[in-house]
Structure 1
Protein backbone atom coordinates (compact mmCIF):
# COMPACT_ATOMS: atom_id res chain seq x y z
CA UNK A 1 0.00 0.00 0.00
CA UNK A 2 1.29 3.44 -0.81
CA UNK A 3 1.16 6.31 1.63
CA UNK A 4 0.90 10.05 1.00
CA UNK A 5 4.69 10.45 0.95
CA UNK A 6 5.00 7.75 -1.73
CA UNK A 7 2.46 9.55 -3.88
CA UNK A 8 4.27 12.87 -3.37
CA UNK A 9 7.58 11.26 -4.37
CA UNK A 10 5.94 9.69 -7.40
CA UNK A 11 4.28 12.96 -8.40
CA UNK A 12 7.54 14.87 -7.94
CA UNK A 13 9.41 12.25 -9.92
CA UNK A 14 6.80 12.37 -12.69
CA UNK A 15 7.03 16.17 -12.78
CA UNK A 16 10.84 16.10 -12.95
CA UNK A 17 10.68 13.56 -15.78
CA UNK A 18 8.13 15.72 -17.60
CA UNK A 19 10.35 18.81 -17.24
CA UNK A 20 13.42 16.86 -18.38
CA UNK A 21 11.54 15.59 -21.44
CA UNK A 22 10.37 19.11 -22.29
CA UNK A 23 13.94 20.44 -21.96
CA UNK A 24 15.28 17.62 -24.14
CA UNK A 25 12.68 18.42 -26.83
CA UNK A 26 13.46 22.15 -26.64
CA UNK A 27 17.21 21.64 -26.96
CA UNK A 28 16.70 19.19 -29.82
CA UNK A 29 15.21 22.09 -31.76
CA UNK A 30 18.44 24.10 -31.47
CA UNK A 31 20.70 22.93 -34.28
CA UNK A 32 24.38 23.77 -34.07
CA UNK A 33 25.72 26.38 -36.48
CA UNK A 34 28.03 25.26 -39.28
CA UNK A 35 31.12 26.43 -37.36
CA UNK A 36 30.04 24.31 -34.37
CA UNK A 37 29.59 21.01 -36.22
CA UNK A 38 32.79 19.34 -35.09
CA UNK A 39 31.10 16.53 -33.14
CA UNK A 40 28.84 13.74 -34.35
CA UNK A 41 26.17 12.11 -32.19
CA UNK A 42 27.18 8.43 -31.83
CA UNK A 43 23.58 7.27 -31.64
CA UNK A 44 22.31 8.96 -34.80
CA UNK A 45 25.45 9.60 -36.83
CA UNK A 46 24.21 13.15 -37.38
CA UNK A 47 26.02 16.32 -36.39
CA UNK A 48 25.63 16.94 -32.67
CA UNK A 49 23.15 19.54 -31.51
CA UNK A 50 24.50 21.66 -28.70
CA UNK A 51 24.53 25.10 -27.24
CA UNK A 52 27.51 27.29 -27.98
CA UNK A 53 28.49 29.46 -25.03
CA UNK A 54 30.73 32.30 -26.10
CA UNK A 55 33.16 32.91 -23.20
CA UNK A 56 33.03 36.64 -23.91
CA UNK A 57 29.26 36.91 -23.47
CA UNK A 58 28.43 34.13 -21.01
CA UNK A 59 28.65 36.41 -17.93
CA UNK A 60 26.39 39.05 -19.47
CA UNK A 61 23.93 36.38 -20.64
CA UNK A 62 23.84 34.83 -17.18
CA UNK A 63 23.30 38.22 -15.53
CA UNK A 64 20.53 38.95 -18.03
CA UNK A 65 18.84 35.65 -17.24
CA UNK A 66 19.05 36.15 -13.46
CA UNK A 67 17.80 39.73 -13.67
CA UNK A 68 14.96 38.60 -15.95
CA UNK A 69 13.83 36.07 -13.35
CA UNK A 70 14.11 38.64 -10.56
CA UNK A 71 12.13 41.19 -12.61
CA UNK A 72 9.44 38.61 -13.36
CA UNK A 73 9.14 37.80 -9.64
CA UNK A 74 9.11 41.51 -8.76
CA UNK A 75 6.23 42.13 -11.16
CA UNK A 76 4.32 39.13 -9.83
CA UNK A 77 4.79 40.35 -6.25
CA UNK A 78 3.63 43.81 -7.28
CA UNK A 79 0.47 42.41 -8.86
CA UNK A 80 -0.22 40.28 -5.80
CA UNK A 81 0.28 43.32 -3.55
CA UNK A 82 -2.14 45.40 -5.64
CA UNK A 83 -4.66 42.58 -5.47
CA UNK A 84 -4.34 42.44 -1.68
CA UNK A 85 -4.72 46.22 -1.44
CA UNK A 86 -7.85 46.07 -3.63
CA UNK A 87 -9.25 43.29 -1.42
CA UNK A 88 -8.63 45.36 1.72
CA UNK A 89 -6.49 42.61 3.30
CA UNK A 90 -3.79 45.01 4.48
CA UNK A 91 -3.61 47.73 7.07
CA UNK A 92 -2.52 51.21 6.03
CA UNK A 93 0.88 50.62 7.61
CA UNK A 94 1.31 47.35 5.68
CA UNK A 95 0.30 49.06 2.44
CA UNK A 96 2.87 51.82 3.00
CA UNK A 97 5.62 49.34 3.85
CA UNK A 98 4.78 47.16 0.86
CA UNK A 99 4.71 50.14 -1.50
CA UNK A 100 8.06 51.39 -0.21
CA UNK A 101 9.60 47.93 -0.54
CA UNK A 102 8.39 47.54 -4.12
CA UNK A 103 9.68 51.00 -5.05
CA UNK A 104 13.09 50.22 -3.53
CA UNK A 105 13.21 46.88 -5.36
CA UNK A 106 12.38 48.60 -8.65
CA UNK A 107 15.11 51.18 -8.04
CA UNK A 108 17.62 48.43 -7.23
CA UNK A 109 16.70 46.56 -10.42
CA UNK A 110 17.28 49.75 -12.40
CA UNK A 111 20.69 50.20 -10.71
CA UNK A 112 21.69 46.61 -11.49
CA UNK A 113 20.63 47.00 -15.11
CA UNK A 114 22.66 50.22 -15.38
CA UNK A 115 25.66 48.50 -13.80
CA UNK A 116 25.60 45.73 -16.42
CA UNK A 117 24.68 47.99 -19.35
CA UNK A 118 21.13 46.65 -19.66
CA UNK A 119 17.70 48.21 -19.74
CA UNK A 120 14.54 46.74 -18.28
CA UNK A 121 13.43 46.19 -21.90
CA UNK A 122 16.48 43.92 -22.40
CA UNK A 123 15.03 41.62 -19.74
CA UNK A 124 11.78 41.08 -21.63
CA UNK A 125 12.42 37.80 -23.42
CA UNK A 126 10.64 37.17 -26.72
CA UNK A 127 8.82 33.85 -26.45
CA UNK A 128 7.95 33.68 -30.13
CA UNK A 129 4.27 32.97 -30.75
CA UNK A 130 3.52 33.39 -27.04
CA UNK A 131 4.64 37.01 -27.08
CA UNK A 132 6.98 38.52 -24.52
CA UNK A 133 7.67 37.18 -21.04
CA UNK A 134 6.99 40.41 -19.19
CA UNK A 135 3.82 42.41 -19.66
CA UNK A 136 4.11 45.88 -21.23
Structure 2
Protein backbone atom coordinates (compact mmCIF):
# COMPACT_ATOMS: atom_id res chain seq x y z
CA UNK A 1 0.00 0.00 0.00
CA UNK A 2 1.34 3.38 -0.98
CA UNK A 3 0.25 6.15 1.33
CA UNK A 4 0.75 9.63 -0.01
CA UNK A 5 -0.02 12.44 2.47
CA UNK A 6 -0.50 14.93 -0.38
CA UNK A 7 -3.22 12.77 -1.95
CA UNK A 8 -4.91 12.32 1.42
CA UNK A 9 -4.89 16.08 2.01
CA UNK A 10 -6.30 16.80 -1.44
CA UNK A 11 -8.93 14.07 -1.04
CA UNK A 12 -10.08 15.49 2.27
CA UNK A 13 -10.13 19.02 0.83
CA UNK A 14 -12.19 17.75 -2.11
CA UNK A 15 -14.74 16.14 0.22
CA UNK A 16 -15.04 19.19 2.47
CA UNK A 17 -15.25 21.65 -0.43
CA UNK A 18 -17.88 19.47 -2.15
CA UNK A 19 -20.04 19.60 0.98
CA UNK A 20 -19.53 23.36 1.34
CA UNK A 21 -20.43 23.90 -2.33
CA UNK A 22 -23.58 21.82 -1.93
CA UNK A 23 -24.63 23.81 1.14
CA UNK A 24 -23.78 27.10 -0.61
CA UNK A 25 -25.99 26.21 -3.57
CA UNK A 26 -28.84 25.15 -1.27
CA UNK A 27 -28.54 28.45 0.63
CA UNK A 28 -28.57 30.35 -2.66
CA UNK A 29 -31.74 28.59 -3.82
CA UNK A 30 -33.44 29.16 -0.46
CA UNK A 31 -32.50 32.85 -0.58
CA UNK A 32 -33.97 33.16 -4.08
CA UNK A 33 -37.22 31.53 -2.93
CA UNK A 34 -37.44 33.95 -0.01
CA UNK A 35 -36.72 36.94 -2.27
CA UNK A 36 -39.39 35.82 -4.74
CA UNK A 37 -41.86 35.26 -1.88
CA UNK A 38 -41.16 38.76 -0.58
CA UNK A 39 -40.21 37.54 2.89
CA UNK A 40 -36.89 39.44 3.06
CA UNK A 41 -36.34 43.13 3.60
CA UNK A 42 -34.07 45.06 1.24
CA UNK A 43 -31.39 45.06 3.95
CA UNK A 44 -31.64 41.28 4.39
CA UNK A 45 -31.43 40.76 0.62
CA UNK A 46 -28.29 42.90 0.53
CA UNK A 47 -26.69 40.99 3.42
CA UNK A 48 -27.53 37.58 1.98
CA UNK A 49 -26.20 38.58 -1.43
CA UNK A 50 -22.97 39.89 0.04
CA UNK A 51 -22.51 36.78 2.18
CA UNK A 52 -23.07 34.44 -0.76
CA UNK A 53 -20.61 36.39 -2.92
CA UNK A 54 -17.95 36.25 -0.20
CA UNK A 55 -18.48 32.51 0.21
CA UNK A 56 -18.21 31.99 -3.55
CA UNK A 57 -14.96 33.98 -3.65
CA UNK A 58 -13.54 31.99 -0.72
CA UNK A 59 -14.46 28.76 -2.50
CA UNK A 60 -12.56 29.90 -5.60
CA UNK A 61 -9.55 30.69 -3.43
CA UNK A 62 -9.65 27.31 -1.69
CA UNK A 63 -10.05 25.43 -4.99
CA UNK A 64 -6.94 27.20 -6.25
CA UNK A 65 -4.97 26.36 -3.11
CA UNK A 66 -5.80 22.65 -3.40
CA UNK A 67 -5.60 22.53 -7.21
CA UNK A 68 -9.24 21.53 -7.65
CA UNK A 69 -11.61 22.34 -10.50
CA UNK A 70 -15.38 22.83 -10.32
CA UNK A 71 -16.10 19.52 -12.02
CA UNK A 72 -14.01 17.69 -9.39
CA UNK A 73 -16.41 18.87 -6.69
CA UNK A 74 -19.39 17.19 -8.29
CA UNK A 75 -20.80 13.95 -6.92
CA UNK A 76 -21.96 11.52 -9.59
CA UNK A 77 -25.04 9.63 -8.42
CA UNK A 78 -25.23 7.11 -11.24
CA UNK A 79 -28.68 6.98 -12.85
CA UNK A 80 -29.84 9.91 -10.72
CA UNK A 81 -27.32 12.22 -12.38
CA UNK A 82 -24.97 14.72 -10.81
CA UNK A 83 -25.53 16.18 -7.36
CA UNK A 84 -24.04 19.60 -8.07
TM-score if structure 1 supplies the norm length? Answer: 0.57
Match of residue 29, structure 2, among 68, 72, 79: 79
Q: Does 1:118 align with 2:78?
A: no
TM-score if structure 2 supplies the norm length? Answer: 0.91
Moved over 3 A (4+): none
**1:121 and 1:100 mapped to 2: Cα distance?**
25
Partner of 1:55: 3
- Shift of residue 55, structure 1, vs aligned partner: 2.5
Structure 1: give runs of 5+ residues left out of the alignment.
1-35, 37-53
Number of positions where the alignment pairs a residue of Structure 1 with one of Structure 2: 82
Q: Does 1:130 align with 2:73?
A: no
Q: Cα deviation per residue 1:43-71 (whole Å; 9 max; x = unaligned)?
A: xxxxxxxxxxx532221111100100000
- More relative contact order, 1 or 2 (CA 8 Å, 6+ apart): 2
